[in-house]
Amino acid sequence: MDDEIVYQKPPLSRKRVFPSDLEMEYGSYFGTDEGEWGGELIFEDLEGKRSTILSESNVYSLVPWGNMIFVMLGWEHMYADGSILLIRDPSSPTEIEKYTEIGDAPIETLIINQSLVVFGYDSIIQAYPIFETLVLDPWKGMRPTSAVQFDDDRLVVGLHGGMAVVNISESKWTTKVYVQPEHRL
């Protein structure tokens, strides 16, 4: 029947601002996150040759920055501490270096005012060009699910059971959490 409606199950993963795959002019990067079973980062050159750059590391997202790539690692399932690796020359990805530990599981990454900002389970961290914890425990124990820049002064962060608005217009960032009545703290 041509007009038959077929149910399609929605994908389990959500679209991140910076996903774990990245196409560049000299090849593609593919990262996987398999939770406690690990993950890997693979580079595929233009001829289709694949090489594993990292194994046993959960790649949460790949963030291009000028001529570099930040590789966000973490284990969101258990909120394990994450870290950031740096590929300085993406055209020859044989050298990858540890940039920093972030002390939190990365949930989302945004570029805000020329800074790499990581939204974690327990914090908001500016990771580059300088490392600084901007807000500690901004979600009051509620796990973030997404983050977007609403305007020049505010970010909106989706939470399980609510949302947070982060004011970034001041030198010290502040958060206000809004929750549904059944999720009140």
Q: What is the pLDDT along the chain (185 residues), one digit of tens a residue?
A: 444 544 443 344 445 666 788 999 989 999 888 777 778 899 999 999 998 888 888 888 899 998 899 999 887 655 567 889 999 999 888 788 999 988 888 888 899 888 999 988 888 999 998 888 888 888 877 788 888 898 999 999 988 888 899 999 887 888 888 886 665 55
Number of domains the chain contains: 1
Q: Is there a domain that residue 35 lies in?
A: yes
Supply the CATH number for residue 139's domain.
Answer: 2.130.10.10
Domain containing 63 equals 21-183
Please report the pLDDT score of residue 77 as a whole number: 59
Cis peptide before 10 (omega within 30 of 0): no
Domain presence at residue 13: no
- Whether residue 11 lies inside any domain: the answer is no
In a domain, 87, yes or no: yes
Q: Determine the Cα–Cα distance for residues 104 and 80; give it in Å rounded to an integer.
A: 6
Residue 14: per-residue pLDDT: 47
- pTM (2 d.p.): 0.81
For residue range 12-28, list pLDDT tens digits in order.
Answer: 444 566 678 899 998 99
In a domain, 7, yes or no: no
Dist. CA 132–CA 117, nearest whole Å: 10
Give residue 146's pLDDT. Answer: 87
